[in-house]
Structure 1
């Protein structure tokens, strides 16, 4: 209907064509600020290609280990640097974790509404913590879309590599309350995405309030982390994940958000690792997921963080979006 109306309208008013008469400012070649002219979807896609340029995966079959590496392809001396190193739990450990999954099922009635709402990207939950609004924080929401896309890009490759089976395959009594996703269990994608969002928002709010003491991101950290943990645990309650899946997702999401911020700001990151074989109690009992577990051990624990840091270059398009998002919180 609109097309027909526009055709009629033009025919009635256009008159003889007299050529190009408007003065147009042509965009400058290959400038990040050209993103201002783009629609939301293409803008995020362009930033995504800038962000993931140089990411690659490496596996070692002997120890069944997988690494996410990064090579700054814009550097004159290209070197591969490890960002994340993962080793999965053993099959007996997953079997022990199943006891925890079965126990969590008692919470299904209480959390059903949350679980169903969080099957899609739970933006409303993050909005409720930091006051995100669609009309004020458009670039922030696009930055969140960007980290979500990064998580999907990485987590699905790791899920494929480790090919961990879901709880429902271990016991007919698990009976998940939602459909079991059609991909591997470890690491948890929801946990990865949730903790990436929490870390990204904390960093963004800190950057937007540098004069505050403590800055707004630090003030919001506890609530952001608690929300990420609840989103992750809700997947265990639903019967589609083990607690160790959430633990690894916490590590991976944190590392990916730190990578994005470093690419946007030209800062450095610390290599992070998760060894699922060490995620158990002192007597080999199954360990539940908890925010109280430190992720900053240098060795000898499930969570590790390298003492040294490494540069990951600068992604100009991501940097532009980052700076525009900061302005929305001024």
Structure 2
């Protein structure tokens, strides 16, 4: 095959070949064309016509538009908080146009707790040699690791992968707000002996982005496949998320506390994401209270439930369960992804 410019799907992009082909095949003065029927304005079905990256941006606008971020508490202390505002009907009085609904709160641990966790980061560094390949492979989105638990393939499940990518973009947008606001230092800034295995990212430590993203994906996949938390696939997804989060501590770029905060944020954002995709779903507002941490805590999801009487002190629900109207474009993406699993019957 001769070398040449290639476009998406292998279509030739050399304009000279297209010019000669048109000149040889067009019928002069033939004004015939495809029948054009424009869809209704803001029709979710129009999503079918766009490229995946366009759909991702449209969905991000739907997910992020209701979210607002604020500090709660005294100047210099305080909790960083995200909530969603749910619009009232168009004819509602302006004073009633939005109703805030809490989503997640994070408060950072004290410096003494981070200093105590330096010991854990140094201790976990002993695992670097055996985990180096994993750590490097997990620098980019961890699709291969999730695909090793749930059968994902670009040709077989393209819409599921799109949905995961949209969830990841939501996680990145929200986690960066927290990282900036809380401005927690990285392990390398506490001890010169950390010597991270990889380059320390140029943003705040808490919450861990890898942890947030791993747990939001795990939650979305569990709900997409309609699996209870006790199902073996769900358990394996949770264990994979914990492994990804822990590897960032092993690499020397995060503290365990960062991963614990990321887990709470990822799970809560996952519930919010599903609620925006499916009518009737809700989320539990949660609070990561880092101020109660001593620094001796470890990331152990099987023994650290997020909710209920057995949850650790730093995981605190607040308020009642909340819900929001499903977005048309997000519901469209969810329904397309679900169709890829119609022939799968989990026991």
Q: Distance in 2 between matches of 1:128 and 1:322?
A: 22
Residues 269-278 or 237-246, more deviating? 269-278
Name the counterpart of 1:97.
117
- Structure 2 matches for 1:1-330, cutoff 5 A? 2-62=14-74, 63-73=77-87, 75=89, 76=92, 77=96, 78-206=98-226, 218-266=231-279, 267-280=281-294, 286-291=296-301, 292-297=303-308, 301-306=313-318, 308-330=320-342
Gaps of 5+ in 1: 207-213
Query: Contact (CA 8 Å) 1:297, 1:303: kept in 2 or not?
Result: no
Q: Deviations over 1:58-92 (max 9, x none)?
A: 11352421101100135444111110011110011
Query: So what's the TM-score if we normalise by structure 1?
Result: 0.92
| Offset, 1:21 | 3.5
Q: Distance in 1 between matches of 2:163 and 2:33?
A: 38
| Offset, 1:51 | 1.6
Query: Contact (CA 8 Å) 1:151, 1:192: kept in 2 or not?
Result: yes
Aligned residue for 1:71, secondary structure, equals: strand
Query: So what's the TM-score if we normalise by structure 2?
Result: 0.88
Gaps of 5+ in 2: 5-13, 343-347
Residues 264-273 or 136-145, more deviating? 264-273
Q: Distance in 2 between matches of 1:145 and 1:42?
A: 12
Q: 1:74 to 1:136 in 2, by over 3 A?
A: farther
Q: Deviations over 1:245-289 (max 9, x none)?
A: 010000000001100000111222211111012233xxxx52111
Aligned length: 319
Alignment RMSD, CA only?
A: 1.8
Q: Distance in 1 between matches of 2:164 and 2:257?
A: 25
| Offset, 1:172 | 0.8
Aligned residue for 1:268, secondary structure, equals: coil
